[in-house]
Chains A and B, each alone.
Chain A
Amino acid sequence: MSAEKTHLQSPCTLAPQAKVRENGTMSINQLVFDPPALDPMTSAPLRAVSSLTGPERMRLHDISVFYDGAAAVKQASLSIHQGEVLALIGPSGCGKTTLLRTLNRLTELTPNASHSGTITLDGDDIHELEDTKLRTRVSMVFQQPNPFPMSIFDNVAFALREQSRRRPRRRELEPLVKQALQRAGLYEEVRNNLDRPALRLSGGQQQRLCIARAIANNPEILLMDEPCSALDPRSTAVIEDLILQLRSDLAIVIVTHNLQQARRVADRVAFMYLGDLVELGDAGQLFEAPREERTREYIAGAFG
């Protein structure tokens, strides 16, 4: 179904749309955002930056988030495009996780949180959408691998099942579950154990199951909140590979403490500090030639 839709969006078809975006400039906290470098290869020596940036899916306009009136995020504006990985970096408490959780309105679960500004998803104000509908389109992977206490199959099927009364048959769900597990790179490891409890999987496998669960509904945007911080280096590498593969189908926003990781997976990087979106730029540019003093200091390890 929608998997085919996403597969149709090959790099070639997306390129013209990407150009249109690159021609425009965006204002981020009075910073002028330059279009990405023409040749990404030169500016990102670590790996090829995705040149298949697709259409804009989400746009944040002057988003501020407050906890008990104190601003945790201050007037952040940015856009999120299909086909790219956007990394949010910054020291602890800088508001990056809060910003991430605002994108699928999880901050609303915190009773003392409020926000101002607008976020649009494909042009619709996300605060006008039903929260459950929004979250099937903007799904999330958490820091701790948190599969539900059910079988591997049911973990993915749970995500697929509608809130409707009628429960779809297992036979109907099977291909979709399989597809999600395949996309998350887990299927080969669990194909014979789909009915085993998910909690028996290793930490890395659990996290990939959580990714499978999150992408099962073919969301437009995948939010990842430090998805590798509880994992060993091998599992981290597997997940990072996965992120690079997944980005062609959806936009990924990842919060990470790990600057190396941001370098490895991100196409664009946003540096936040004390609630301010200090700098947003192409990954290579931000790491090699940051425009802001605070970014430079952070990347150099001066604070954080």
Chain B
Amino acid sequence: MAATEPRSAPTPVAPPRRRGRRSSVRGWRRTDQLIFALAWLAGLGLCLVAGAIVIFLAIEGLQYLDPKLLVTSPSPAVNQAHSGGFLDPLIGTMTMALLGTLIATPLAVLTAVWVVEYGRPRWLAAVVETSIEMIAGTPDIVIAIFGLAFFQIGILAPFSFRASGGGVYGRSFLAAGIMMSLLALPLTYTATRNGLRAIPRHMREASFALGKTRAATIRRVLMPSLRPDIATGATLGLGRIVGSTAIIVLLLGATLQNSPQNSVPLLGFLRGTGSTLTSYIFFNSPAGEGNAPQKAYAAAFVLLLIVLVLNWAVARISRIGAGSSLNSGRMAR
């Protein structure tokens, strides 16, 4: 239509506007104004709290954070100049994170795939779902004490070590790692399950319609697009593992130094006891026996850095996934 109208003289082009005139907040209802203000305040307040934690720990931590602390083992000395650094707890934290995630992720993914893609009989799927919700809601100290009782069963002695009297100690990296995996499992499970549920049904049917089996469909069609979901879940789980103290104190022994069970290279270490940054912070804080707040702050800062890096990794992974996953492809349409 516009094409048939006679061309008018070219009008001067106005600079592009981002948006037109909008209604003013002043014209809103009182309650809406109030809630609007509260929403702003809540958001800003949270930023302040988060910022305060990071800044406080950065100031306190960096003040005492000597690179030497990262590479020296802690030693039992009253004089803080000789009590060493936190190499062992750092290794302990890494080991816990790795072990817990390695156990939790495959379990969580397999469970989620079974529940969403098979889920028969229905009642069993419902029981599985409820169980995982229950584990997710269990405090880690409860998981820890259950683990302690569990790993002290004689038959499970290979996981920790047997004391000279025959009693099973029930504390080791393995025992703690297995219980830690319970902390991560619900998070990875939920992320994977939600990822699976977000994949439209016709995507599976497209694969079936090409004569593919359910197994081939899961392996080749669903799994590739689940990768970002699994990664996000695993990283969230990692954050929980790194932060847990109760399981470390009860199941890892929270010893000053990592003490391998025997001289077998890796296995001895995994069967031995040790500590992580969380237990190190606890014992060095004014509340603990070590009473070396400077080192507690330094360790806390390192732990915070690890968590921040993990959070950043989650954001990164989700964004990378956004380009290639099925779910985002569907949203883009």
Contact = CB atoms under 8 A, between A and B. Distances in A.
Interface of A: 104, 106, 109, 131-136, 139-140, 142-146, 148-150, 158-159, 163, 197, 199, 203, 210, 213-214, 217, 223, 230
Contacts of A104: 209
A135 B323 CA distance: 31
B216 interface: yes
A4 to B, nearest CB: 22
B225 interface: yes
A213 B324 contact: no
A214 B202 contact: no
A215 B200 CA distance: 22
Give the 3 A-B CB pairs with smallest separation, nearest first.
Answer: A136-B211, A140-B209, A199-B329
Given A197-B324, A199-B329, A230-B333, A136 B210 contact: yes
A1 to B, nearest CB: 17
Contact of B329 (A133, A149, A223, A230): A149
B208 A106 contact: yes
Contact of B209 (A106, A148, A230): A106
Given A132-B212, A214-B209, A148 B220 contact: yes
A149 B213 contact: no
A159 B329 CA distance: 20
Nearest to B202: A142
A158 B220 contact: yes
Nearest to A105: B208
B325 interface: yes
A136 B210 CA distance: 5
B66 to A, nearest CB: 48
Given A109-B208, A158-B210, A217-B211, A149 B202 contact: no
A223 B216 CA distance: 22
Contacts of A139: 209-211
Given A132-B213, A197-B323, 6 more contacts: A106-B209, A142-B209, A145-B333, A146-B202, A217-B211, A223-B209
Contacts of A199: 324, 326, 329, 332
Contacts of B326: 148-149, 199
Given A144-B200, A149-B324, A203-B333, A135 B210 contact: yes
Interface residues of B, number: 25
Interface string B305-333: 00000000000000000011110011011
B133 interface: no
B233 to A, nearest CB: 18
A257 B262 CA distance: 74
Contacts of B205: 106, 109, 140, 142
Contacts of A159: 210
Interface of B: 200, 202-203, 205-213, 216, 220-221, 224-225, 323-326, 329-330, 332-333
A150 B224 contact: yes
A148 B333 contact: no
A244 to B, nearest CB: 22
Contacts of A197: 323-324
Nearest to A160: B210
Given A149-B329, A163-B216, A135 B208 contact: yes
A226 B205 CA distance: 15
Given A148-B203, A149-B325, A150-B224, A163 B210 contact: no
Contacts of B207: 148, 158
A163 B212 CA distance: 7
A131 B217 CA distance: 14
B119 to A, nearest CB: 10
Contacts of A144: 200, 202, 330, 333
Given A146-B200, A150-B224, A203-B333, A214 B325 contact: no
Contacts of B325: 149
Contacts of B330: 144
13 contacts: A104-B209, A109-B205, A109-B208, A132-B213, A139-B209, A140-B205, A144-B330, A144-B333, A149-B225, A150-B220, A158-B212, A163-B212, A197-B323
A109 B207 CA distance: 12
Contacts of A143: 202
A159 B208 CA distance: 10
Given A148-B221, A149-B224, A197-B324, A210 B206 contact: yes
Contacts of B200: 144, 146
Contacts of B206: 140, 142, 146, 148, 210, 213
Contacts of A109: 205, 208
Given A163-B216, A197-B324, A199-B329, A146 B210 contact: no
A42 B325 CA distance: 50
A163 B211 CA distance: 9
Contacts of B216: 163
B227 to A, nearest CB: 9
